[in-house]
Chains A and B, each alone.
Chain A
Amino acid sequence: MTMTPLGLVVATERRPTTPHSFHFWTALDAPVGIGTIVRVEGDHAIAGRRPVVYGVVSDGEAWTDVASPLHEVMGRDGDPAAPAPPTARTEIRLYTAQVLRQVPDEPLQPVPLGAVYLATDDDVAAALRMDTYLAPEDRTAIPIGVYRAGTVQSPVYLDADFLVGPEAAHLNITGVSGLATKTSAVEWLMASLFAHFPAGKGSVAAVCFNVKGSDLCFLDQMGTLTPEDEAIYERLAVPARPFDKFELYAPYTAAGWSLATYRSHDALQHNVSPLTWGLGEVLQYAEVLLNKDDVDAKADALIDFIRERVVQKSFETDTGTVHQVLTFADLDAWFRDVLRFMEDTGKEHWRTHHAATIRKVRNRLSNISTRCRGLVTDDGQPSDLPFGSFVDRTVYVVDVAMQEEDAQDLIFARIVSQLREHLERRALGVDHVVVFVDELNKYAPSDGPDTYVRKMLLDIAERGRYLGLVLFGAQQFRSQVHRRVVGNCGTALFGRMDGDELATPGYGTLSPAVRTKLATLDKGQLMVRHPHFAQPVFVRFPRPAVLTGRDGSERFPPVAPPTLDEAVTRSLRLLDPAISRAYVQEFVARYDENDILRARNATVRMRPANVKAFFESQFKGHVPVVPVTPVTAAPLRAAPPLDDPYAF
């Protein structure tokens, strides 16, 4: 190779080269910095082959020939503003690099005293061992960004087998809020994954939980890219366009009229669906909402009994009443019946369950519909993610940003459990699912109570790769996430880091210079750890080609909270644009709000061909509300005079 060396390896007794690190000096204008990948060519062949060593710069030093700072003070007569001397002092730049790879890898020897070159594209591929998964016949490379040094801009790839499984899996990204661009990085990586995931590896989809603001609400809308971003997209062969297959699910608001999401603009409702669950779905994950104090062994036994024998079954109580428990209201009626029987008969136990336990479970379960109002329906009919018919390269966003913490936990637990169950049966519709969870230190903290959600995340992290269930987690403080969750992530990304976080022991293996670089990373820069990379590398990634939450909210401002007839009209118009608001108002005037919403929800869920006919059929058997004129009763005695407020 005829490239000009940019440095020479130097070794002294105090700074020797080793098989894992070496030092080299460069000219002052050499395009070398922390994270630069270099190639060292040895002069002496070993076993007939000249050794080549790849390294990444992890530290740098510079000094001049001045022996003491005092000499500089003397030279300028103590005046920093004195004119610069006619000669600049000789200065040296000495860098320390960590070995990424030695070729040949045996015998493993100290790095030879050779010339140091800036790594080319091929060198970067070899240094990061990407050549093993870049081969055309067995390519599993997923672009993560470009590595830059001087004029070199080389693609860096992750191995799909180590990102999505089965060899390793999961990704964790950490960094300070607002500057680390964690969400952007994940959006970009999902686009890259969808574009490059090899067809031979099966299908892949993503389920993203939008936990704050409108971050993930506009992934199907084109964002703004700079020419530099577009160049990176082109370099990495990733289409610079938003996700064309996108669906958003959100529970209703507490009023139940409209969906609790910032994506409420009329122009964006075609791929927005309600997320509502009935008693059966919720009761299955009651543990999520009940803490350990609530669910002791006795309560657990009663919940199991209800789940197995009562819910969605015909159950005759001791009073002779036959209950069809489909809703929380039905369940409460069942509880009332059982407890009345016990009170009437003076019994303290009913089918081995103590009255106190029954009252406690009734209290806790009934409370769920209040705490998760909007998510839980009273009609018992769920509107759910399309488990079983997931579509390849589709992003499913579950918007839980407006939900209470309990509801968020419930949504997360049930969806992930359903994903897992379907993947175990190979019945999800896709072979792999990426689950993106932000604020991981909230859901899987390193300390605190052992919650159902944390146990579930641990389970995904430890066993998900065998199923194709992949966790993409993000958080501000990696040190505060359960170590088994982050430890099982094959790939780790680091954006701009907080100094306090960098001071924790988990970053002790990084050099001070690398830590400093992490603390000052620009937006769009990441440090990447991947099983194939012997050392972390820095890459730059483009802005995702989607609208950010802020831009999306400006371009598609959320609509104001609608009235009941507005909300129902909007929902039905998505199915039949001919439906007028007057048509809906007619029903609103005649029927109870719950009847209207039940009819609306059923219509939206069933998506019938004749929307009007189906909607109207939902009111059969329901008595219309008859408006009555209130009758004012005559007061028993006259009101007291206004000037005597104490008189009665």
Chain B
Amino acid sequence: MPRMRAEAGISERSHEQGAGTARVRELWRTLARFAPGATVTDGGTPLEWQREAASPPRVAPMPVVETGPSIRAVAGSAAAFGGFLDGVQESRVALWLPGGAPVVIARVGAVILQRTARTLSVWPHGVRDRTLVIAPRARVEPAMWEALSAAMPLVDSAVEDEVCHPDSLLAKAVHVVEQARAAEERALAERWATDGVSPLCVDGSIATLGDAAHAPRIVGLVKSHRTLVSAPEAIPALLTLPEGHRTAVVELTGSHHRSRVWTWYLRLRAPRAADPLFGLVRIEVADHGEATARADDVSRWVMAERTPLALPDARWDVMPYGIARCESYLKRGLGLRATA
């Protein structure tokens, strides 16, 4: 398969990009027509860019499931991933209704790029995207809600009656968008878990991927570390973890919307004095098999993805090239800003 088939996929999907963009414009025109007295914005920057950190940094100790040393060297590398999954979302305020309710237009998308003979291409049925119009029903006049619902599929951001701060209303909308994106990612991951024949590298946690979180071929790669899954006393060792070493496997306990998974840290590149988290990723897999052997295998797979570098992406130290290509595809192919 030609190396450019991924770009060929872009061409095939370019109509969808055009369709998606046209769909958004049509929604904007419709909204302006239905709410002549409303303030129609120019969209501005995506809401995801404006949001403050969702939660403060924290340390979360979890039970260790692997016996033996807490720091282990990873023996070499071995490319095994046959696909990469990433999703993006982009939300913009279209207008503020007279009652102070924001109408948000959002697009979400997810893609799996499969790797065959070192070449990335779009996995068949591996692209999903969706456009949403979100408004807080509790803050919108019933007649207006009905009118808008008749013209377009409207999603309620389900705010409580007492919520009235604009930022809170927008945060609710963005949360809906996040759920929509996660749903798209989950659908693709579950499809891969069923049809895929090789390991899939997922950008981010797999705990929210539903049934896919239990699939042995699904591997999650967490690149940001606002929550450190480690005992407080093990933090110094974690921050000085040498290149090519991993921590012991711990269990991330599940909840009603998160599956139980195994996780550990792996240092892809030598740490820098100015950034102890440089090159550090956290890996999540389903709790299958023998923990040490599984962690060693998956760590070797991830180590193999250190090249090619994902530069000029700012997170190149922890970003597998395949994930970067997924973002690039969604950004250029679907016209979405890459905002996970």
- Using CB atoms and an 8 Å cutoff, list the residues of chain A in contact with chain B: 8, 25-30, 65-68, 71-72, 74-76, 84-93
The tally of CB-CB contacts under 8 A between chains A and B is: 72
B292 at the interface (CB under 8 A from A): no
Interface of A is mostly: loop
- Quick one: which of B3, B8, B306, B322 contacts A91, CB cutoff 8 A? B3
Contact A87 B2 (CB under 8 A): no
- Nearest neighbor of A10 in chain B, beta-carbon distance: B11
B36 at the interface (CB under 8 A from A): no
B277-307 interface mask toward A, CB cutoff 8 Å, 1 = contact, 0 = none?
Answer: 0000000000000000000000000001111
Asked, given contacts A8-B11, A84-B118, whether A90 binds B309 with beta carbons under 8 Å apart, the answer is: no
Contact B4 A85 (CB under 8 A): no
Contact A88 B119 (CB under 8 A): yes
Alpha-carbon gap, A84 to B118, bound state (A): 9
Interface residue ranges of B297-334 to A (CB < 8 Å): 304-309, 311-312, 321-322, 325, 328
Alpha-carbon gap, A66 to B316, bound state (A): 12
Interface residue ranges of B237-283 to A (CB < 8 Å): none
Provide the residues of chain B in CB contact with A72, threshold 8 Å: 308-309
Contact B11 A87 (CB under 8 A): no
- Using CB atoms and an 8 Å cutoff, list the residues of chain B in contact with chain A: 2-8, 11, 79, 81, 115, 118-120, 304-309, 311-312, 321-322, 325, 328
Chain A to chain B contacts (Cβ below 8 Å), 5 pairs:
A74-B311, A87-B119, A90-B3, A91-B3, A92-B7
- Nearest neighbor of B118 in chain A, beta-carbon distance: A88
Alpha-carbon gap, A84 to B4, bound state (A): 18
Asked, given contacts A86-B79, A87-B115, A87-B118, whether A27 binds B4 with beta carbons under 8 Å apart, the answer is: yes
Distance (Å) between the CB of A78 and the closest chain B CB?
A: 12
Distance (Å) between the CB of A585 and the closest chain B CB?
A: 80
Alpha-carbon gap, A8 to B10, bound state (A): 12
Contact A90 B8 (CB under 8 A): no
- Which among B306, B308, B312, B325 has the greatest number of chain A C-beta atoms within 10 A? B308
Contact B308 A66 (CB under 8 A): yes
Distance (Å) between the CB of A58 and the closest chain B CB?
A: 21
Contact B2 A75 (CB under 8 A): no
Asked, given contacts A86-B115, A86-B305, A87-B321, whether A66 binds B311 with beta carbons under 8 Å apart, the answer is: yes
Alpha-carbon gap, A75 to B311, bound state (A): 10
Alpha-carbon gap, A553 to B322, bound state (A): 65
Asked, given contacts A27-B8, A29-B2, whether A90 binds B120 with beta carbons under 8 Å apart, the answer is: yes
Provide the residues of chain A in CB contact with B328, threshold 8 Å: 65, 90
Provide the residues of chain A in CB contact with B309, threshold 8 Å: 71-72, 74-75
Alpha-carbon gap, A87 to B301, bound state (A): 13
Distance (Å) between the CB of B299 and the closest chain A CB?
A: 15
Contact A90 B4 (CB under 8 A): yes
- Quick one: which of A28, A67, A87, A91 contacts B312, CB cutoff 8 A? A67
Asked, given contacts A65-B328, A67-B312, whether A87 binds B7 with beta carbons under 8 Å apart, the answer is: no
Distance (Å) between the CB of A94 and the closest chain B CB?
A: 11
- Nearest neighbor of B305 in chain A, beta-carbon distance: A86
Asked, given contacts A85-B307, A87-B308, A88-B119, whether A28 binds B321 with beta carbons under 8 Å apart, the answer is: no
Alpha-carbon gap, A66 to B118, bound state (A): 16
- Nearest neighbor of B316 in chain A, beta-carbon distance: A71
Provide the residues of chain B in CB contact with A90, threshold 8 Å: 3-4, 6-7, 120, 325, 328
Asked, given contacts A8-B11, A75-B307, whether A87 binds B322 with beta carbons under 8 Å apart, the answer is: yes
- Nearest neighbor of A67 in chain B, beta-carbon distance: B312
Contact B312 A85 (CB under 8 A): no
Contact A92 B4 (CB under 8 A): yes
Provide the residues of chain A in CB contact with B321, threshold 8 Å: 85, 87, 89
Contact B2 A68 (CB under 8 A): no
- Which among B6, B11, B115, B309 has the greatest number of chain A C-beta atoms within 10 A? B309
Contact B3 A88 (CB under 8 A): yes
Alpha-carbon gap, A21 to B137, bound state (A): 55
- Quick one: which of A30, A68, A85 contacts B308, CB cutoff 8 A? A85
Distance (Å) between the CB of A5 and the closest chain B CB?
A: 9
Alpha-carbon gap, A266 to B120, bound state (A): 70
Alpha-carbon gap, A91 to B309, bound state (A): 15
Distance (Å) between the CB of B45 and the closest chain A CB?
A: 24
- A71-B308, A71-B309 are known contacts; what are 12 more A-B pairs with Cβ within 8 Å? A25-B4, A27-B2, A27-B5, A28-B2, A28-B3, A65-B325, A72-B308, A86-B81, A86-B115, A87-B305, A88-B119, A90-B328
- Nearest neighbor of A91 in chain B, beta-carbon distance: B3
5 nearest CB pairs, A to B: A86-B79, A85-B307, A27-B2, A75-B309, A71-B311
Contact B3 A68 (CB under 8 A): no
Contact B311 A68 (CB under 8 A): yes
Provide the residues of chain A in CB contact with B8, threshold 8 Å: 27
Alpha-carbon gap, A89 to B6, bound state (A): 11
Contact B118 A86 (CB under 8 A): yes
Distance (Å) between the CB of B243 and the closest chain A CB?
A: 12
Provide the residues of chain A in CB contact with B2, threshold 8 Å: 27-30
Alpha-carbon gap, A72 to B2, bound state (A): 21
Contact A76 B311 (CB under 8 A): no
Asked, given contacts A27-B2, A90-B3, A90-B4, whether A76 binds B307 with beta carbons under 8 Å apart, the answer is: yes
Alpha-carbon gap, A68 to B309, bound state (A): 11
Contact A87 B4 (CB under 8 A): no
Distance (Å) between the CB of A298 and the closest chain B CB?
A: 79
Provide the residues of chain A in CB contact with B325, threshold 8 Å: 65, 87, 90
Provide the residues of chain B in CB contact with A86, threshold 8 Å: 79, 81, 115, 118, 304-305, 307
Alpha-carbon gap, A91 to B305, bound state (A): 18
Provide the residues of chain B in CB contact with A25, threshold 8 Å: 4, 7
Provide the residues of chain A in CB contact with B3, threshold 8 Å: 28, 88, 90-91
Provide the residues of chain B in CB contact with A71, threshold 8 Å: 308-309, 311-312
Provide the residues of chain A in CB contact with B115, threshold 8 Å: 86-87
Provide the residues of chain B in CB contact with A88, threshold 8 Å: 3, 118-119
Alpha-carbon gap, A90 to B326, bound state (A): 12
Provide the residues of chain B in CB contact with A30, threshold 8 Å: 2
Contact A89 B308 (CB under 8 A): yes
- Nearest neighbor of A93 in chain B, beta-carbon distance: B4
- Nearest neighbor of B115 in chain A, beta-carbon distance: A87
- Quick one: which of B4, B11, B79, B120 contacts A28, CB cutoff 8 A? B4
Provide the residues of chain B in CB contact with A26, threshold 8 Å: 4
Distance (Å) between the CB of B10 and the closest chain A CB?
A: 10
Alpha-carbon gap, A586 to B3, bound state (A): 86
Alpha-carbon gap, A596 to B77, bound state (A): 95
Alpha-carbon gap, A75 to B269, bound state (A): 11
Provide the residues of chain B in CB contact with A68, threshold 8 Å: 311-312
Provide the residues of chain A in CB contact with B120, threshold 8 Å: 87, 90
- Nearest neighbor of B322 in chain A, beta-carbon distance: A87
Alpha-carbon gap, A89 to B322, bound state (A): 9
Alpha-carbon gap, A26 to B5, bound state (A): 10
- Nearest neighbor of B321 in chain A, beta-carbon distance: A87
- Nearest neighbor of A74 in chain B, beta-carbon distance: B309
- Which among B4, B118, B328 has the greatest number of chain A C-beta atoms within 10 A? B4
Alpha-carbon gap, A66 to B3, bound state (A): 15
